[in-house]
Structure 1
């Protein structure tokens, strides 16, 4: 886990002064290939070779991790009225009965149903070969937008392979029926099959997986082809049918690593990789009406609205990649932070729109560390708890690097009967506050029900530290409040009782649950999510034309907020320090030199100069800006 002392605040200040460097969309490493001529029926005809003993082994390991390791089990039983442990025991009993076992696909269907019953995208059953290397997809994307009657309509937002669909089937057509079922009902039915911690999350997942399904986390579609009815751009009803395309994975997915606290959505990453294969990022960027610049994990631009021009940053993910050494990871982590600071400080001070829609998460520390750049407040990272169990106690003792902090309270629970351990942060507080505020203008955050895990944690921190309003295009976030590990991580930590799963099968689970801070201190993030303060249903203009109405809505909120500015430079003299200030929206500045308070000064908007006496040497000057008694801005400068 990175800590605050490995990073240089002076270097971060230099990064803030440098203009952000736009980067061309990278050519993605091919993950999938299209199997020409292979139909879904042909794939399923000989898919699956699990023996009865292999099925039993999978069930036993599932029972073990859900009962002994799964952090959210008490919450899920209470909130959703489910009993995954009993269902696994019943499945085990069925496998022990004499006679011919049921088809393998039925076994996978039951395993998926059991795991999906807890409605947690961190906690998944991953199908074995050949399912784990296969996807079924259609070459277009359907999105929901506000309809003219006050309800919803379902628009085609992109067509990835025009040659495979009718000429009239283009972005903007309105889908009315899916296999003869009204499209809204088809989405609802799809949502009932899949996981998601709240209704908004299930609905968004249903829509995302309607046309793209990775068979490592989902059953193959029931239908071999899809019949679509739609209204074309001329208002004429049309229809066509096409078979599912079958993709084969050529690069295996990287499993989550338990050595670094992660929170991400595997299903979301799978869907994104399928869409990236069909519509590569460089091609998508050319066709996008949004005119984003790309730098690292960030897409950014200035947006002109009727109330002014604002900055817009989309954080596409918090996953930083796979690294062979800690040093390589730290460099990638630092680049992530530098990129954000450089972008934010070069966008208009009138207001900043942070957008985490569709963000599947990643490194938890990457999300929590960004918060300090947007507020003068001290950041309190979320804390994490483990389920009290004998096996988790063994993990804490035998894998102290990952779980050692929780050992004492897990041991004490034998006497106290506590359900959960004590709570400790996964992000070092020193790191969460290592650099301080860099953007001083008002900020709003845009969320949807597909931002998940670390994106949930970022949104919760944004709300709990009262950084700004949250605009939700759905009624909640994805509500992924856990730290995910892979079954292989547990196997590395303890060779017994964990066992290798057969034929590439896998499991992931939430090993720790996250608790919110501030006014929501102690509230679990899982399933409850982060509620928006402002709602906005996407419109056709949003879906097809670069979020026009959404940006207008965000601009109207920012326009009503105070704009702050706090810039400073310092020049040493003979036993004094001359500090030049450029301020807006402040009436007082308190100055600290190398951590010691050196004076409080009344100021007016604009440029001013303050001479601080008695300073012989100095390396760092900190200014705290106040309006009345309220701390509203903080800035730093560094001297050679």
Structure 2
């Protein structure tokens, strides 16, 4: 049954796509990889526990919520680990993997993908993978699990996308998924199950210990209808380098599930290497090869934009793979350019599997899809003496100081709730797309993507269509342990460098929703979709065809608006606007943000004259239908 031995790399790795072939050829099997693991001293283990105690006890914003919702006490568990270490010696301390296992259990117990214990070398930066992907379809009476992607070059008898997996190493597949889900963090049932499926074949070793088993035995019904078994060894390889993230002040406003980001990079390398080819072409100044109906992006690892044909009509579809970008402004600019080249009668914004990134990038994008003014989500610290020291020492955090100081008298658990995204910036460019919009989510939407979905729903931009019952429910701003060190002189810092490339992250500020759900935390609750779609076999194997059809039905039911300032002229102190409109019965005109006139108009073109325009430098036109704001267009003069 075995396809390879510990000494021989599997043949398929020499047959993978050219952009990743050399990289994947360096993969090693689990048994070989583990021979070099385990170099932490007893003192280094104690240091890691002490630093975890500082972060969870003094900085972790969700600690009260997690203790209540999940009946856990991570601080006490760390104290017990510390006590056990004190009773050990270099000769009697257990193997390093047991220490890592205990630390991982503490961090996973809070079910927060922002709050991580990152394993040190040699685990850091590595992924464990099998050469195929398993996904779940729930459109029948019972869940079914299908192979949906296979690494190029890999083959097995009657094994291809579409075959159904029945057992995983002898365990019925659904039970194996549930057992797997229990090991991985996730704020709600949908998020845990989604992670349980994904981690069957791809895992980040920065966030998790390697698999316990050196190989898996997959029982499946082959393409010929015959029940078969396949035994495949886990492979370990260095992950692709992370894309450049924000720096400076922008690095303090991250909302990112680092594990999802790492797994997404791995899945691109393994299953869609043509995206890497596209990025290499863009970097070299060449036009990337794209599929029919697709619009070329300058950020192919961030966006996929295309035109989709559905039974309800032809619509635009833009997939946002990540918000983890160095420049939020450039992100929004490319998003606007892409949606401008797609059909204007309806847009599907698809954020499934997006682990987040820049909070600014996610919240600045909302304004482009709605005439309503965007209210960014507010964020709170937990009130502790150490968090107060941090806010006092960092000028960018001073707005939170007064409420934290007052908490000594009031006993408030949390600081004032203040936005990370400046409100003027969140409304600076305004609406850019006027057709109806549907947002597609799933349980692997996390952090800044949770915030994007919450903002989309809270501002009534359109319908949220979910393929799971919740988004991943990550409602916080995350900081690395090293970022805390920057706010203190070395001599007085409670934060110390971690050994061997180990790392820790913690949710430092929690987010609250706005609009009708104002004040509700996003953590653990997530965004419940307005409509639910169960992924079908055709979705998994034929490019989401049924999902796109459902989104098309929702778009067709909504009116297509238009409000364009086609021309502006000045004459005799007046401003003459030529407007192009659709499904708008009234426009209000603002000059330099001040209301100047309101005019009833029929559909089609309309001329509006604004007397006394003087030296106005900007104009905004708001369009209404039956008294409701439905479109807005702005222009510099």
SS in 2 for 1:373: helix
State which of 372, 378, 382 in structure 1 corresponds to 2:373.
378
Residue 255 of structure 1 and its aligned partner are, at CA, apart by 8.4
State which of 555, 567, 570 in structure 1 corresponds to 2:568.
570
Once the two structures are superposed, residues 544-578 of structure 1 have per-residue CA deviations (whole angstroms, 9 ceiling, x without a partner) of: 11111001101111111122111122122233322
How far, CA to CA, are the matches of 1:175 and 1:293 in structure 2? 35
How far, CA to CA, are the matches of 1:266 and 1:366 in structure 2? 17
Query: Structure 1 stretch 514-523 or stretch 410-419: which is displaced more?
Result: 410-419
Distance 1:583 1:248, change over 3 A: closer
How far, CA to CA, are the matches of 1:160 and 1:502 in structure 2? 35
Query: Structure 1 stretch 27-36 or stretch 103-112: which is displaced more?
Result: 27-36
SS in 2 for 1:378: coil
Could you tell me which residue of structure 1 aligns to residue 426 of structure 2?
432
Flag structure 1 segments of 5+ consecutive residues without an equivalent.
Answer: 1-26, 322-331
Could you tell me which residue of structure 2 aligns to residue 17 of structure 1?
none
Contact 2:239 2:265 in 1 (8 A): no
SS in 2 for 1:35: coil
Could you tell me which residue of structure 2 aligns to residue 143 of structure 1?
135
Contact 2:240 2:265 in 1 (8 A): no
Superposed CA RMSD: 2.2
Once the two structures are superposed, residues 343-394 of structure 1 have per-residue CA deviations (whole angstroms, 9 ceiling, x without a partner) of: 2233223211111101111110110011111111111000000010011011
Residue 245 of structure 1 and its aligned partner are, at CA, apart by 1.1
Could you tell me which residue of structure 1 aligns to residue 10 of structure 2?
none
State which of 137, 141, 144 in structure 2 corresponds to 1:153.
144
SS in 1 for 2:32: helix
Could you tell me which residue of structure 2 aligns to residue 245 of structure 1?
235
SS in 1 for 2:175: helix
Could you tell me which residue of structure 1 aligns to residue 598 of structure 2?
600
How far, CA to CA, are the matches of 1:173 and 1:292 in structure 2? 28
- The normalised TM-score by structure 1 is 0.89
Query: Structure 1 stretch 96-105 or stretch 452-461: which is displaced more?
Result: 96-105
Contact 2:239 2:266 in 1 (8 A): no
Could you tell me which residue of structure 2 aligns to residue 400 of structure 1?
395
How far, CA to CA, are the matches of 2:462 and 2:213 in structure 1? 46
Is residue 417 of structure 2 the alignment partner of residue 423 of structure 1?
yes
Query: Structure 1 stretch 342-351 or stretch 201-210: which is displaced more?
Result: 342-351
Could you tell me which residue of structure 1 aligns to residue 323 of structure 2?
318
Once the two structures are superposed, residues 467-520 of structure 1 have per-residue CA deviations (whole angstroms, 9 ceiling, x without a partner) of: 111100000001010001100001122231111111111100111000111111
Could you tell me which residue of structure 1 aligns to residue 78 of structure 2?
88
Residue 337 of structure 1 and its aligned partner are, at CA, apart by 1.4
Is residue 166 of structure 2 the alignment partner of residue 176 of structure 1?
yes
Contact 2:158 2:224 in 1 (8 A): no
Once the two structures are superposed, residues 293-337 of structure 1 have per-residue CA deviations (whole angstroms, 9 ceiling, x without a partner) of: 34222211121211221111111111113xxxxxxxxxx333211
How far, CA to CA, are the matches of 1:126 and 1:593 in structure 2? 53
Contact 2:135 2:540 in 1 (8 A): yes
Distance 1:30 1:114, change over 3 A: farther
State which of 301, 307, 310 in structure 1 corresponds to 2:312.
307
- The normalised TM-score by structure 2 is 0.90
How far, CA to CA, are the matches of 2:189 and 2:400 in structure 1? 33
Residue 240 of structure 1 and its aligned partner are, at CA, apart by 1.1
SS in 1 for 2:309: strand
Once the two structures are superposed, residues 421-453 of structure 1 have per-residue CA deviations (whole angstroms, 9 ceiling, x without a partner) of: 111100000100111111111111100000110
How far, CA to CA, are the matches of 2:572 and 2:50 in structure 1? 75
Residue 171 of structure 1 and its aligned partner are, at CA, apart by 1.1
Query: Structure 1 stretch 618-627 or stretch 474-483: which is displaced more?
Result: 618-627
How far, CA to CA, are the matches of 1:306 and 1:414 in structure 2? 61
How far, CA to CA, are the matches of 1:112 and 1:420 in structure 2? 27
How far, CA to CA, are the matches of 1:290 and 1:515 in structure 2? 41
Residue 29 of structure 1 and its aligned partner are, at CA, apart by 9.3
SS in 1 for 2:527: coil
**1:3-152 correspondence to structure 2 within 5 Å:** 33-35=24-26, 38-98=28-88, 100-146=92-138, 149-152=140-143
Could you tell me which residue of structure 1 aligns to residue 577 of structure 2?
579
Contact 2:359 2:448 in 1 (8 A): yes
How far, CA to CA, are the matches of 1:526 and 1:611 in structure 2? 49
Distance 1:349 1:280, change over 3 A: closer
Contact 2:20 2:273 in 1 (8 A): no
Residue 235 of structure 1 and its aligned partner are, at CA, apart by 2.0
Query: Structure 1 stretch 411-420 or stretch 339-348: which is displaced more?
Result: 339-348
Residue 32 of structure 1 and its aligned partner are, at CA, apart by 5.5
Distance 1:293 1:183, change over 3 A: farther
Contact 1:173 1:233 in 2 (8 A): yes
Is residue 278 of structure 2 the alignment partner of residue 278 of structure 1?
no
Distance 1:258 1:235, change over 3 A: farther
SS in 1 for 2:619: strand
How far, CA to CA, are the matches of 1:451 and 1:111 in structure 2? 26
Contact 1:32 1:277 in 2 (8 A): no
Distance 1:288 1:580, change over 3 A: closer
Query: Structure 1 stretch 334-343 or stretch 265-274: which is displaced more?
Result: 334-343
SS in 2 for 1:162: coil
- Larger relative contact order (C-alpha < 8 A, sep ≥ 6)? 1
Contact 2:243 2:324 in 1 (8 A): no
Contact 1:460 1:516 in 2 (8 A): yes
Distance 1:420 1:618, change over 3 A: closer
Residue 238 of structure 1 and its aligned partner are, at CA, apart by 1.8
Could you tell me which residue of structure 1 aligns to residue 632 of structure 2?
634
Is residue 177 of structure 2 the alignment partner of residue 187 of structure 1?
yes
Could you tell me which residue of structure 2 aligns to residue 293 of structure 1?
295
Is residue 494 of structure 2 the alignment partner of residue 517 of structure 1?
no
Contact 1:290 1:546 in 2 (8 A): no
Contact 1:31 1:251 in 2 (8 A): no
How far, CA to CA, are the matches of 1:475 and 1:123 in structure 2? 23
